Chains A and B, each alone.
Chain A
Amino acid sequence: MSNIGSYEERVNNFSWSLAEKELGYTPGDDINIGWYCTDRICQMGKSDKKAILWEGLGGVEKQYTYNDLRLRTNTMATMLKGIGINEGDRVCLFMDKVPELYVGVLSVLKMGAVAQPLFSAFGDESLFVRLDNAQTSAIITQRKHVGKVRLILERLPSLKHIIIIDHDGKKELKTREMAFDMDHAEQIEHFEAAHTKAESPSVLHYTSGTTGQPKGVKHVHYSLISQYLTSKWVLDIQDNDIYWCTADPGWVTGTSYGIIGGFATGATVCILDTGFSAESWYKFIDKYKVTMWYSAPTAIRSLMKAGDELVKQYDLSTLRHLASVGEPLNAEAVIWSEKVFGKPFHDTYWQTETGSMMIVNVPGMKIKPGSMGKPFPGIIATVLDEHTYEPVDGPNKPGLIAFQPGWPAMMRTYWRNEETYGKKFKNGWYLSGDKAFLDQDNYFWFIGRDDDVINTGGHLVSPFEVESALLEHEAVAESAVVAKPDAVNMEVVKAFVTLNPGFEPGDMLELQIMNFIRKRLSPLAMPQEIEYLDKLPKTRSGKIMRRLLHAKEWGEEIGDVSTLEDD
């Protein structure tokens, strides 16, 4: 029997107080996510239950019970307080998916600071932009990544502490650096969690938009309420589940559900810290007897490409429930998963800004392959007419996906950017920036973004950010970046450039520019293709007409070109 039972009954009888009561929370009380994910689980008699089953490269394994998690978060929180980190300070976590990353996020939350997890593949410039915007006080990282921090340190006077979790003593620590060994530090038995309240800031995630720099999405401790309940009702996490959320905590899924949802429900959380390969993923599921698997369409499509025969080499019979997030899960992938795993991936739709799942497929609900599903109970969702911002009057009419504000995990602002935050609301609705239509059964069907942001492998990349970085390359005079269709990643970045005098188009230059962006921003932002043009299409006022380039890539009509600059 699933946790949610009947979707319709839940919708008709819903209140967020259901989750509050389960968590033993009364409005006005202290609420600290770090405490809920560690101490509370121990107090429920689960101290000896496995919290983390971790495997890294070469099959290295580490396991931690909930009591181990409690002690390690106490220890790391004590260390942070000891070096002068205060409640509300931003602490960045810039690591691969090592145990210290998971423990670190919970530690920062436990002591009342703001956790700022960042994807460890970010280049130095991407890192700088985010740390500068947040005025981050400390960064917890690994020695393999500290080089990137050192490159930007002089530009970050607020970054007082660089905490290296795997310092081996072979080289000297440099300015502002310190070593911290989580497993061998003296474990602290008692630590009083910060008395954070519902609206106390908890996590700061960065997300890309069409224009401007990435925005810091501020979340609060009350987000636990919807993260917990969606974990119970959508992921259907049950007490004996072995749960694998494949997302990196540098992205919101990996934090909201890879950490908070997993630990707050007292599940055993599996973590695989290696690169992707279909064999290693299936082997992992087989070895740890994974029961609940939350993954992403890009990964699922890569598994499809690896073939059905491979699946048969492993015992995946423990898989009880599958879900997906990041981009629309195509119908073919849903049908395939039912065929090879005996059950379909359930698509879930939400965003960095929403903090928790919004439109979902829940256990027991009829799945329409390719559909986003229906609103989670308690979420009021609609499709707005893009001119009037009123709900469309009937099925099959495309418009803007919008939500009635006020769910627990809704972002509270964009960090230091209230003006942009205000633009997310119109006519009493929160605007997601995505488009969809509703069918006659009130299932949502995704159409696309309402802006130029590129969704590659489930992650948003800003064309503006890539274009700006391209202009920093000596060869590039002008640039325009669009999404290009891709069978596995849905979209990838493609750049069109004109060159400065003295530079000639060629394969090696293309490679140099690609690597320049990959190291400066991230592998996601790296153009997968660069096309050289003599000039970019522009309006007579000089504005680059990206939509013409986009239409060409997607085989679409190019529309009105009356404003195009004459040749």
Chain B
Amino acid sequence: MENIKDVVLKYVVDEYLDDPEDEMTYETPLISGGIVDSFSMVSLKRFLEATYKISLPDDRATPEAFDTVNSITDLVNEFLAKK
């Protein structure tokens, strides 16, 4: 199964980068960096939930938790472990 970090990184690059050749790392700030705005965050949350069959409560799906690929991966792993 593909590594969660890479799945998330690829999705962010494909869906949210205006210029696909912009550099993106697991630590690139997504929300605070303006790459994913608060409205678009909903689609990212929906992607994670649909892909990993988890449900992320609103109070955990915060701009802080979604700010980097690494922090998103940590959140997903946390909820996968609870399944």
By a beta-carbon cutoff of 8 Å, the part of chain A in contact with chain B is 57, 96, 121, 143-145, 147-148, 273-277, 279-280, 302, 456-457, 488-489, 492, 507-508, 510-511, 514-515, 518, 523-524, 526, 528
| Shortest distance between the CB of A45 and any CB in chain B (Å) | 37
| Given A57-B34, A144-B19, A276-B31, A523 contacting B49 (CB threshold 8 A) | no
Q: Name the residue on B nearest A459 (C-beta).
A: B39
Whether a CB of chain A sits under 8 angstroms from the CB of B37 is yes
Contact B34 A511 (CB under 8 A): no
**Other contacts beyond A57-B29, A523-B39: 6, CB < 8 A:** A57-B33, A275-B33, A302-B63, A510-B50, A511-B50, A514-B43
Whether a CB of chain A sits under 8 angstroms from the CB of B15 is yes
20 examples of A-B residue contacts, CB within 8 angstroms: A144-B19, A273-B34, A274-B32, A274-B33, A275-B32, A275-B36, A275-B63, A276-B31, A276-B63, A277-B64, A456-B39, A507-B49, A507-B50, A508-B50, A510-B46, A518-B40, A523-B40, A526-B39, A526-B40, A528-B39
Residues of B within 8 A of A144 (CB): 18-19, 22
Residues of A within 8 A of B33 (CB): 57, 274-275
> For residues 26 through 72 of chain B, which have their beta carbon under 8 Å from a beta carbon of chain A?
29-40, 42-43, 46-47, 49-50, 63-64, 67
Please measure, in the bound complex, the distance between the C-alpha atom of A488 and the C-alpha atom of B41, giving whole angstroms: 14
Contact A514 B46 (CB under 8 A): yes
Please measure, in the bound complex, the distance between the C-alpha atom of A410 and the C-alpha atom of B46, giving whole angstroms: 42
Q: Which of B19, B31, B42, B49 has the most CB of A within 10 A?
A: B42
| Shortest distance between the CB of B29 and any CB in chain A (Å) | 7
Q: Name the residue on B nearest A280 (C-beta).
A: B32
Residues of A within 8 A of B39 (CB): 456-457, 489, 492, 518, 523-524, 526, 528
Tally of chain B residues near chain A (CB < 8 A): 25
Residues of B within 8 A of A274 (CB): 32-34
| Shortest distance between the CB of B45 and any CB in chain A (Å) | 10
Contact B63 A277 (CB under 8 A): yes
Contact B34 A275 (CB under 8 A): yes
- Majority-rule SS of B interface residues: loop
Please measure, in the bound complex, the distance between the C-alpha atom of A351 and the C-alpha atom of B49, giving whole angstroms: 38
Contact A147 B18 (CB under 8 A): yes
Please measure, in the bound complex, the distance between the C-alpha atom of A144 and the C-alpha atom of B10, giving whole angstroms: 18
Contact B42 A528 (CB under 8 A): yes
Residues of B within 8 A of A147 (CB): 18-19
Residues of B within 8 A of A279 (CB): 32
Q: Name the residue on A nearest B18 (C-beta).
A: A144
Residues of B within 8 A of A526 (CB): 39-40, 42-43
Q: Name the residue on A nearest B22 (C-beta).
A: A144
| Given A144-B18, A457-B39, A515-B43, A275 contacting B50 (CB threshold 8 A) | no
Q: Name the residue on A nearest B47 (C-beta).
A: A511
Please measure, in the bound complex, the distance between the C-alpha atom of A523 and the C-alpha atom of B42, giving whole angstroms: 10
Residues of B within 8 A of A57 (CB): 29, 33-34
| Given A275-B29, A276-B31, A143 contacting B43 (CB threshold 8 A) | no
Please measure, in the bound complex, the distance between the C-alpha atom of A112 and the C-alpha atom of B73, giving whole angstroms: 51
Contact A511 B29 (CB under 8 A): no
Q: Name the residue on A nearest B19 (C-beta).
A: A144
Residues of B within 8 A of A523 (CB): 37, 39-40
Q: Which of B29, B32, B39, B46 has the most CB of A within 10 A?
A: B39
Contact A143 B34 (CB under 8 A): no
| Shortest distance between the CB of B26 and any CB in chain A (Å) | 17
| Shortest distance between the CB of B69 and any CB in chain A (Å) | 15
Residues of A within 8 A of B15 (CB): 515
Please measure, in the bound complex, the distance between the C-alpha atom of A248 and the C-alpha atom of B64, giving whole angstroms: 22
The 6 lowest CB-CB distance pairs between A and B, nearest first, are A275-B34, A507-B50, A523-B39, A144-B18, A277-B32, A144-B19
Please measure, in the bound complex, the distance between the C-alpha atom of A275 and the C-alpha atom of B66, giving whole angstroms: 12
Contact A518 B31 (CB under 8 A): no
Residues of A within 8 A of B34 (CB): 57, 96, 273-275
Contact B38 A302 (CB under 8 A): yes
Please measure, in the bound complex, the distance between the C-alpha atom of A279 and the C-alpha atom of B30, giving whole angstroms: 15
Please measure, in the bound complex, the distance between the C-alpha atom of A546 and the C-alpha atom of B37, giving whole angstroms: 28
Q: Name the residue on B nearest A529 (C-beta).
A: B42
Q: Name the residue on B nearest A525 (C-beta).
A: B39
Please measure, in the bound complex, the distance between the C-alpha atom of A306 and the C-alpha atom of B10, giving whole angstroms: 29
Residues of A within 8 A of B63 (CB): 275-277, 302
Residues of B within 8 A of A524 (CB): 39
Please measure, in the bound complex, the distance between the C-alpha atom of A457 and the C-alpha atom of B41, giving whole angstroms: 14
| Shortest distance between the CB of A205 and any CB in chain B (Å) | 20
Please measure, in the bound complex, the distance between the C-alpha atom of A275 and the C-alpha atom of B15, giving whole angstroms: 17
Q: Name the residue on A nearest B31 (C-beta).
A: A275
> For residues 1 through 38 of chain B, which have their beta carbon under 8 Å from a beta carbon of chain A?
15, 18-19, 22, 29-38
Q: Name the residue on A nearest B20 (C-beta).
A: A147
Residues of B within 8 A of A510 (CB): 46, 50
Contact A145 B18 (CB under 8 A): yes
Residues of B within 8 A of A514 (CB): 42-43, 46
Q: Name the residue on A nearest B36 (C-beta).
A: A275
Contact B43 A511 (CB under 8 A): yes
Please measure, in the bound complex, the distance between the C-alpha atom of A276 and the C-alpha atom of B39, giving whole angstroms: 11
Contact A275 B18 (CB under 8 A): no
B31's partner among A277, A488, A511 (CB-CB below 8 A) is A277
| Shortest distance between the CB of B75 and any CB in chain A (Å) | 17
Please measure, in the bound complex, the distance between the C-alpha atom of A518 and the C-alpha atom of B67, giving whole angstroms: 19
